[in-house]
Chains A and B, each alone.
Chain A
């Protein structure tokens, strides 16, 4: 009896691991010389299904390591179904005046991109299906969007606007750009915002069903609900929004943290 259960469990584990571990193709490495070495870059990656990792380094070019998961296409032969080796995809990397964009065609399965770029960079990264976005050691303005996976940014400076519908957003700053407002937005994920112990910010916190934690002492500001009225041909839309506004270290740039079902954590960097 036990042996049978063990066998079933073992088979299940094998089956699940087979499902999870899609075969990876050979990694392709592309080195991109920049039009203006030493100057900041912009990087735009928008791929339907991707793990996108961007790493800032002391360098004057950009290096992309690209791996594409092989498909599971089969061909029906006289002796049965046979799996095809190798994916079918096309991926393009363009550089124009320090602006780099990465795009794939419709055939690509999940793409794994590791981009090693100069530290000073503005980023626009997005993915939708089974994706993950990781950023580290980058200074600049970042727009990060992941519909069904997490967003993690560590040791970054500048500003972030991030949206993850169903997963956690975790950003950790070494310094923040006082001139830019920031926003982390999720429906079902937790929001974690880390900033240096001496940095000031004004947080607008909105978690309908989650809890809010802070490593900092906060000064709660008196606020009124914000009412927006918009008239258009379809009628009148009135939007009422109420957020908790707190200052950290006397306040600073506005940081909106909004989630429906997740928790919100304000952390001291290094904790």
Chain B
């Protein structure tokens, strides 16, 4: 009788020990030599920040701070397989994916309750092209990058300052702040659903803007002219289903015009301001 109780107690102790939350933190640095004049940096994060600053030519350096947690040791072990860093590198650049490149981790066993926060502190050579993103509890912070910048976030802000050009800056529930060190020379798309958008440029910069807005106020420190953009009609055929789509944006010319920026916001304000 006593033996049975002891055994039951032992198994209960074992299972409770097995079910105890497990967490682990570590920090390390990776350096990747690159020879391209315009190397590419891609980071696809899930939880955490991505910060990028200018660094030395020929090297992309990444300080990675990892905090991994799971509801149990077994799930912790599983998270090592599900949420791992998939790093691809060659002389043209570096790509770092949390999970894996093709996104199959989303279709695998979900590892419920597991979480791995990565904070990326990156320095890149001049002229590096960026494509960086995160999803939860993180911010994208890029500064001083002369190459083309693309950034996305789902539940946090994007701050991109002192850059040369952008390609696509997109958030769902966060603000997008972008400031250009020189007058932008390339087309760019900037969008958010529930955040404000602030665009800062040197005095005298010009843009043509296609605006898709719903709520929110717009302000500008530049002189602007409103103009009509033609409606775009697209036709597509999806397995016999014909689809015609008409879209039209409101047009705004800043100063004497320039590259076309497509800017969309549902519930946020939009500001064009001088540096």
Interface residues of A (CB under 8 A from B): 25-26, 28, 30, 32-33, 35, 66, 68, 71, 73-79, 82-97, 106-107
Report whether A95 and B250 are in contact in the complex, using a CB–CB cutoff of 8 Å. Answer: no
Report whether A87 and B248 are in contact in the complex, using a CB–CB cutoff of 8 Å. Answer: yes
The answer, among B218, B246, B250, for a CB contact under 8 Å with A90, is B246
Report whether A76 and B217 are in contact in the complex, using a CB–CB cutoff of 8 Å. Answer: yes
A79 to B220, CA, bound (A): 10
Q: Which residue of B lies closest to A83 (CB)?
A: B226
B108 within 8 Å of A by Cβ?
no
B101-131, CB < 8 A from A: none
19 contacts between A and B (CB under 8 A): A28-B233, A66-B246, A73-B250, A75-B224, A75-B252, A77-B224, A82-B226, A85-B251, A87-B248, A87-B250, A88-B212, A89-B246, A89-B248, A90-B245, A91-B246, A93-B246, A95-B241, A95-B242, A107-B213
B30 within 8 Å of A by Cβ?
no
Interface residues of B (CB under 8 A from A): 211-214, 217-224, 226-231, 233, 240-252, 266
Report whether A32 and B226 are in contact in the complex, using a CB–CB cutoff of 8 Å. Answer: no
Chain B hits for A107, CB < 8 A: 212-214
Chain B hits for A77, CB < 8 A: 219-220, 222-224
Report whether A75 and B220 are in contact in the complex, using a CB–CB cutoff of 8 Å. Answer: yes
Given A30-B233, A76-B220, A107-B212, does the pair A96, B242 have CB atoms closer than 8 Å?
A: yes
A78 to B220, CA, bound (A): 7
The answer, among B211, B223, B227, B243, for a CB contact under 8 Å with A88, is B211
A93 to B244, CA, bound (A): 5
The answer, among B217, B229, B244, B266, for a CB contact under 8 Å with A32, is B244
Given A28-B233, A66-B246, A68-B248, does the pair A88, B213 have CB atoms closer than 8 Å?
A: yes
Interface-central residue, B217, B229, B244, B252, by most chain A CB under 10 Å: B244
The answer, among A26, A74, A94, A97, for a CB contact under 8 Å with B243, is A94
A-B contact count (CB 8 A): 106
A198 to B252, CA, bound (A): 61
Return A92 CB to nearest CB of chain B, in Å.
Answer: 5
A89 to B214, CA, bound (A): 10
Report whether A86 and B246 are in contact in the complex, using a CB–CB cutoff of 8 Å. Answer: no
A1 to B269, CA, bound (A): 46
The answer, among B218, B226, B244, for a CB contact under 8 Å with A85, is B226
Report whether B231 and A94 are in contact in the complex, using a CB–CB cutoff of 8 Å. Answer: no
A74 to B216, CA, bound (A): 10
In the A-B complex, the 3 residue pairs with the smallest Cβ-Cβ separation, listed nearest first, are: A75-B218, A96-B241, A76-B219
The answer, among A30, A83, A84, A106, for a CB contact under 8 Å with B246, is A30
Return B266 CB to nearest CB of chain A, in Å.
Answer: 8
Chain A hits for B231, CB < 8 A: 25-26, 28
Given A83-B226, A86-B229, does the pair A33, B218 have CB atoms closer than 8 Å?
A: no
Report whether B233 and A94 are in contact in the complex, using a CB–CB cutoff of 8 Å. Answer: no
Report whether A91 and B226 are in contact in the complex, using a CB–CB cutoff of 8 Å. Answer: no
Return A217 CB to nearest CB of chain B, in Å.
Answer: 50
Chain A hits for B214, CB < 8 A: 88, 106-107
Interface-central residue, A25, A68, A75, by most chain B CB under 10 Å: A75
Report whether B248 and A35 are in contact in the complex, using a CB–CB cutoff of 8 Å. Answer: no
Report whether B219 and A88 are in contact in the complex, using a CB–CB cutoff of 8 Å. Answer: no
Q: Which residue of A lies closest to B251 (CB)?
A: A86
Q: Which residue of B lies closest to A71 (CB)?
A: B250
Q: Which residue of B lies closest to A23 (CB)?
A: B228
Report whether A85 and B228 are in contact in the complex, using a CB–CB cutoff of 8 Å. Answer: yes
Chain B hits for A73, CB < 8 A: 211, 213, 218, 250
A73 to B224, CA, bound (A): 14
Extra 9 A-B pairs, beta carbons < 8 Å, given A30-B233, A35-B240: A26-B231, A30-B244, A68-B248, A76-B219, A87-B250, A88-B213, A88-B249, A89-B246, A94-B242
Return A185 CB to nearest CB of chain B, in Å.
Answer: 33
Report whether B241 and A94 are in contact in the complex, using a CB–CB cutoff of 8 Å. Answer: yes
Report whether A88 and B246 are in contact in the complex, using a CB–CB cutoff of 8 Å. Answer: no
Chain B hits for A93, CB < 8 A: 243-246
Chain B hits for A91, CB < 8 A: 245-247
Given A33-B242, A73-B213, does the pair A86, B223 have CB atoms closer than 8 Å?
A: no
Report whether B223 and A32 are in contact in the complex, using a CB–CB cutoff of 8 Å. Answer: no
Chain A hits for B217, CB < 8 A: 76
